[in-house]
Structure 1
């Protein structure tokens, strides 16, 4: 049986697989493969966006406790740069440039990874940036206490900004720039727009369907709510567990990314055999 046929069979009915030659239950196969694989649905996009919004909120709040500033809000950082420039605090301005540049670099690297994998028809085109984000969160969790002090403070900020840039670019590319997960300004704006459309349509009673507006309202409201929940969880986690709180977040990302990578490894093994 070809790799494509095997993959379709797994998706239809997940069996006991042999991963790297060892029997193992891979759970839940169907959900994980659909969540970050190349065969995408609108439902998978919504689920992925909600999980990433929670993680972004947790990392953002934790970053505030760890380094004293949010690391996903480029609007705030750029505004701070302007304020610092007006007061002559050039070192803080340069630090802001480093943070913005790191966020931009993260989005840049995500695009490179996705296009590299897509050119090779890999199932893991979206999984690769998630795995990199997971690895960076592990690095931050294990070494953050060392690097958050002294001259390495800026390095920590840049690492977190790079990580958020990676993540935001993933869902931006998957959703064709409709959804963001690391900042909520656009989501709150979209909630206001949807509410305005719903109210005016109901008031006029013009018979227009509101299904699409209700769907957008549910999605955007859930993203804001999960970002908030992630922030609350991240604040508590960093307060009680410190930098190690990023390790379970990294594990969630790795779990989401693992199935497409396993698919690619199996295909490579079959091709090489």
Structure 2
């Protein structure tokens, strides 16, 4: 998969097509992998895994783990608030026919990641892990809501369970025995299978690089995904006040 730098600048543009949607999802899956991994290595808590977080809260309520219950509740609330913030920002820009509606969300996400990456090492507060989990959870909610909006709910960037399930479904369709003359043959979608496989792979690669980077230099490793998001978000923001005539979702 090769992305020309000029195309990278178009990923958050108001005018969308399948190419920009898919490649924006690839970038965000990688970013999610980095953030998730850094969050876990730094404070021992995943920030994108809502299924696991809800399960942890339920388990620890029974087992008496008050700290983990509160930790999970903060992460869950932050994720929801991030998704809410994405919807508010997006619809505010959509109502004003701005073509930076996607870039606006990415810019806020980039700034938050930049703050964590640049300042977290300097925070001496004994419970800074709460702030880190809340911020990363908020960002995860933002970007997952954004790609959901962009793709009409056909792509996620943090929900690996759903993507792996879809991979299994497509593989099942592709290996299903075809019957001659079947008026409704079962057909797999190789392009969808490839996209899902790339998303999962990029989340994994982001996780590996995030863990290695954090162990090597700490929170400043987050400056890399923040810089990439800014590179994608800033160009549409520069001309974002101009109205977008085309219909976008």
Residues 188-245 of structure 1: CA distance to partner in whole angstroms, max 9, x if unpaired? Answer: 0000000111111x543558484x6111101101100111111111111111121000
Task: State the partner residue of 2:9.
Answer: 32
What is the CA-CA distance between 1:90 and the residue it aligns to? 2.7
CA 1:139–1:220 in 2, change beyond 3 Å: closer, same or farther? same
Aligned pair count? 237
Preserved CA contact (<8 Å) 1:148 1:156 = no
Task: State the partner residue of 1:137.
Answer: 113
Q: Tell me the distance in 2 between the aligned counterparts of 1:124 and 1:71.
A: 27
Q: Tell me the distance in 2 between the aligned counterparts of 1:245 and 1:41.
A: 31
Gaps of 5+ in 2: 244-249
Preserved CA contact (<8 Å) 1:66 1:148 = no
CA 1:80–1:169 in 2, change beyond 3 Å: closer, same or farther? same
How high is the TM-score relative to the length of structure 2?
0.89
How high is the TM-score relative to the length of structure 1?
0.82
CA 1:101–1:178 in 2, change beyond 3 Å: closer, same or farther? same
Gaps of 5+ in 1: 1-26, 269-273
After TM superposition, list the pairs within 5 Å mapping 1:67-106 onto structure 2: 67-106=43-82
Q: Which has the higher helix share?
A: 1
Preserved CA contact (<8 Å) 2:39 2:47 = yes
Q: Return the structure number with greater relative CO, CA threshold 8 A, min gap 6.
A: 2
Q: Tell me the distance in 2 between the aligned counterparts of 1:146 and 1:154.
A: 15
After TM superposition, list the pairs within 5 Å mapping 1:187-206 onto structure 2: 187-200=163-176, 202-204=177-179, 206=182
What is the CA-CA distance between 1:262 and the residue it aligns to? 1.2
Specify which of 226, 235, 239 is matched with residue 250 of structure 1: 226
Task: State the partner residue of 2:246.
Answer: none
Rg larger for: 1
Specify which of 94, 100, 123 is matched with residue 99 of structure 2: 123
What is the CA-CA distance between 1:183 and the residue it aligns to? 2.6
